[in-house]
Structure 1
Amino acid sequence: MEVAIAAAAVVAMGTGNRVLYKLALVPLREYPFFLAQFATFGYVVVYFSILYLRYQAGIVTDEMLSLPQKPFLVVGLLEAFAAAAGMAAGAVLSGASIPILSQTYLVWQLLLSAIFLKRRYRINEIAGCFLVTVGVIITVASGSGTSASFKSTGILWPLLMIISFFLQAADTVLKEIIFLDASKKLKCGSVDLFVVNSYGSAYQALFMCLLLPFLSKLWGVPFRVLPTYIKDGAACFLNMGSISGCEGAPLLPLLFVLVNMGFNISLLHLLKISSAVISSLASTFSVPLSIYAFTLPLPYIGVASSLPPGFVAGAAVLTAGLLLYSLPQARHFGNTFSQQK
């Protein structure tokens, strides 16, 4: 039941995250790079503040904080390079093609979990993941002209986006390894998720700083004008000063930041109590829900989108995949028949 509730939270937060990101870019349409960096560096402050409060409350112990830093450093490195690769490819690829390519994330997780966690998946679990992937592709691609988009961009940028999702999958599996190792080594039996979040985010921010000249160029912001860009972005974020066209700020960007933070926390919590693959499946379910959400009369968006022709079919296939994955394992013991989760 705990896993089901956590998965539902991930789905809800994931849907809100996708919708609010689109809404946040209405006032910040000229400053998407500012929003990305604000999230990256702002989360470090927030996560460590929460970590400090939990430490003062006795939830986080000195033993947790003394865990080896190398795994967290690798987490930060993977997240930074995943973001860099994703930004580079995302600047060229169409918006419709990215959710399709993102389905490789689940494939990478299955492979990496099998290799590094020695996890063996049943036929129904593999088939369920396959159906989930197919369902998302049907939902997204049915009305988007995605095939033409892939032809126009060539093979390099889709491959780079796939590499980005590989790095994200590796990051998730590594976090699962951290949780599993901590449960064996720590006397308290588990490491608080804010220890993982805080250290990982800090190292990610460090590597993002090193990549800042490269990343700013990807977003069309010359490094020499970056201070001015950040200043103007902050003014638009706060809807202050002489910057025009920032209607909806600061409410919409702040809502996105809060929900995005909640999504990351809920996703890590689900990862901690289940597995990387289950957290990925829950996150994937938010894709068709967010597509449906954009058909509603949302503020600041303008004319609502129409549902893709294959939405119902894709959602049905995706749901069937989730149900197939969650089928209990059946085993025979002599003349008895029992089921195990």
Structure 2
Amino acid sequence: MGLGVGNRVLYKLALVPLNKYPFFLAQLATFGYVAVYFSILHFRYRAGIVTDEMLSMPKAPLLVVGLLEALGAVCGMAAGAVLSGAAIPVLSQSFLVWQIILSYLFLGRRYKFNQLLGCFLVALGVIITVASGSSAGSLMEAGIFWSLLMIVSFLFQAADTILKEVIFLDAAKKLKGGSVDLFVLNSYGSAFQALFICLLLPFLSRLWGIPFHQLPNYLSDGAACFLNMGTVSGCEGAPLLPVLFCIVNMAYNISLLHLIKISSAVVSSLASTVSVPISVFLFTLPLPYLGVASSLPSGFIAGAVVLVMGMLIYAWTPSRSSSHPPMPTHLTSP
């Protein structure tokens, strides 16, 4: 949960020096993480943590993981460019709904009434917290198409997490009780995602309002701003803030994948969701580089109470047939 809060706050801070180059930051995360993940995978292989048997796993499911992540990113970027900032966290609660539906269909998972009610209250708590702000706006302002497209993007992301859970479960059977190292999945999944993103770069650059023929110059200026070389103005805070975001974001992604591995995609989603109201509260504090702090939404307390109630209800009398420990164990802050 702590990493989730840090991820949201540092992303906002990282965009302070890179406010003109958010697309550069997105591509840095996509392609830079591939190099980092494979480097870690190499050292873990040399240390004997990753085995040849793990590396020989079928790559087709990992290819689908990369495709789903790329499609989720593309749809999310397209819709996010049109929707209001407050509408996106509200629509993002469809992610949890998709996970429950997909886990029911593909994992045969059955949920108790208290678990479904808890998930509903968690999502409702986030909606109350975010949508009560003065700048919440209406979901209908941008048109129903873009709202539906954002919901579809969360379908792709939810399918991605469920597929990862399936991969972990299948690997445990094939490795005879063992478990595939999460960096095998992370590395190859990220590599395939980068491949699909690369193929979609002309479309993505257009979404960000960057003519494709100007993309090399844009990325060059973005790199200069990231390194704060002095050739581009308005980059105060770089490279410290973007680097901090990248480090925390990688740790956050790894922790979520680990949570999927030891519990489930739904538990991972709930743990991530808790960070939303905490992040909203932190943005009301005088954080460096952000200037004037935002005001606390009028429904913040009510939303936070509903969210906590949802977490407690979900964790109440967990299923004995469940293969993972009770909810509170997984939601302990790192």
Distance in 1 (CA, whole Å) between partners of 2:138 and 2:97 is 23
Displacement of 1:296 in angstroms is 1.3
Pairing partner for 2:122 from 132, 153, 161 = 132
Residues 62 and 185, structure 2, Cα contact 8 Å, conserved in 1:
yes
Query: Offset at 1:271?
Result: 0.7
Q: Is the 8 A contact 1:132 1:322 kept in 2?
A: yes
Q: Offset at 1:145? A: 4.2
Equivalent in the alignment of 1:272: 261
1:122 aligns with 2:112: yes
Q: Which residue of 2 aligns with 1:23?
A: 13
1:204 match: 193
**What is aligned with 1:4?**
none
Question: Is contact 1:295-1:307 (8 Å) kept?
Answer: yes
Give the aligned partner of residue 8 of structure 1.
Answer: none
Indicate which of 77, 91, 99 corresponds to 1:109.
99
d(CA) in 2 for partners of 1:174 and 1:272?
Answer: 11
- Cα displacement string for residues 110-157 of structure 1 (whole angstroms, at most 9, x for unaligned residues): 0000000000000000000000011000000012443x4322201010
Structure 2 residue 226 is matched with structure 1 residue 237: yes
Answer yes or no: is the 8 Å Cα contact 1:110–1:277 preserved in 2: yes
- Cα distance in 2 between the residues matched to 1:251 and 1:191: 34
Q: Distance in 2 between the 1:67 and 1:329 partners?
A: 33
| 1:183 counterpart = 2:152 | no
SS at match of 2:109: coil
> Closer, same or farther in 2 for the Cα pair 1:82/1:330, shift >3 Å?
closer
In the alignment, what sits opposite 1:192?
A: 181
Query: 1: CA distance between counterparts of 2:306 and 2:102?
Result: 25
> Partners in 2 of 1:166 and 1:188 — Cα distance?
31
Q: Which runs of 5+ in 2 are unaligned?
A: 327-334
1:259 to 248, 263, 279: 248
**4+ residue runs of structure 1 moved beyond 3 angstroms?**
none
Return closer, same or farther for 1:329/1:80 CA change in 2, 3 Å cut-off.
Answer: closer
In the alignment, residue 127 of structure 1 is paired with which amino acid?
L
Q: Aligned with 1:313: secondary structure? A: helix
Letter in 2 for 1:174: L
- Paired letter, 1:171: D
Answer yes or no: is the 8 Å Cα contact 1:106–1:129 preserved in 2: yes
Deviation at 1:305, TM superposition (A): 1.2
Counterpart-to-counterpart distance in 2, 1:31 and 1:89: 19
1:337 aligned partner: none
Amino acid of the structure 2 residue aligned with 1:279: S
- From 208, 212, 216, the equivalent of 1:219 is 208
TM-score with structure 2 setting the length? 0.95
Task: Quote the Cα distance in structure 2 between the aligned partners of 1:27 and 1:274.
Answer: 37
Tell me, yes or no, if structure 1 residue 143 matches structure 2 residue 133: yes
One-letter amino acid matched to 2:218 = Y
State the 1:188 CA deviation.
6.0
2:283 alignment partner AA = F
Number of residues paired by the alignment? 322
Alpha-carbon shift at residue 187 of structure 1 (Å): 3.8
CA distance in 1, matches of 2:135, 2:300: 15
Aligned alpha-carbon RMSD (Å): 1.2
Preserved contact between residue 93 and residue 149 of structure 1 (Cα < 8 Å)? no
Contact 1:96 1:144 in 2 (8 A): no
Amino acid at match of 1:272: K
- Within the candidate set 285, 295, 298, 1:306 is matched to 295
Equivalent residue runs for 1:62-73 within 5 Å: 62-73=52-63
- The verdict on how the C-alpha distance between 1:94 and 1:56 changes in structure 2, with shifts beyond 3 A counting, is same
2:332 corresponds in structure 1 to none
Q: Does the 8 Å CA contact 2:112/2:319 hold for their aligned counterparts? A: no
1:20-57 per-residue CA deviation (whole Å, 9 max, x = no partner) reads 11000000000000000000000000000000000000
Q: Is the 8 A contact 2:206 2:212 kept in 1?
A: yes
Amino acid at match of 1:15: V
Residues 51, 195 of structure 1: 8 Å contact kept: yes
Structure 1 stretches lacking a partner, 5+ long = 1-10, 332-339
Distance in 2 of aligned mates of 1:151 and 1:115: 31
C-alpha distance 330-250 of structure 1, shift in aligned 2 (>3 A): closer
The question of 1:297 aligning with 2:286 is answered yes
Q: CA offsets per residue over residues 250-302 of structure 1, 9 Å max, x none?
A: 00000000000010000000110000000000000000010011011100000
Q: In the alignment, does 2:316 pair up with 1:324?
A: no
